[in-house]
Amino acid sequence: MKSIIRQLRRERKLSQEELAAAVGTTRQTITSIEVGKYTASLPLAYKIAHYFGLTIEEVFDFSDWEEN
């Protein structure tokens, strides 16, 4: 799943560590989400979107998401 997290972080001059601390996860998780190796859980996706003042749909691109 694609996201604009990296772009949002850079616009706000946030490190991965700062974002991770703000949403209660690890830097490694933020890295994995940014490069598309990990799909955020719904609660984490909500926390990230809320942190940036956006909706989940504005942060994450669900067009290539497949339900298993």
Residue 61 has pLDDT above 90, yes or no: no
Out of 13-22, 41-50, 54-63, least confident range = 54-63
- The pLDDT confidence band at residue 1, using thresholds 50, 70 and 90, is confident
* Mean pLDDT computed over every residue of the chain: 93
* CA-wise closest residue to 3 among 29, 35, 25, 46: 35
- One of 1.10.3720.10, 2.60.40.420, 2.60.34.30, 1.10.260.40 is the CATH number of 2-61, namely 1.10.260.40
pTM of the model: 0.88
- 8-38 pLDDT per residue, tens: 999 999 999 999 999 999 999 999 999 999 9
Residues 6+ apart with CB under 8 A from 2: 36, 60, 61, 64
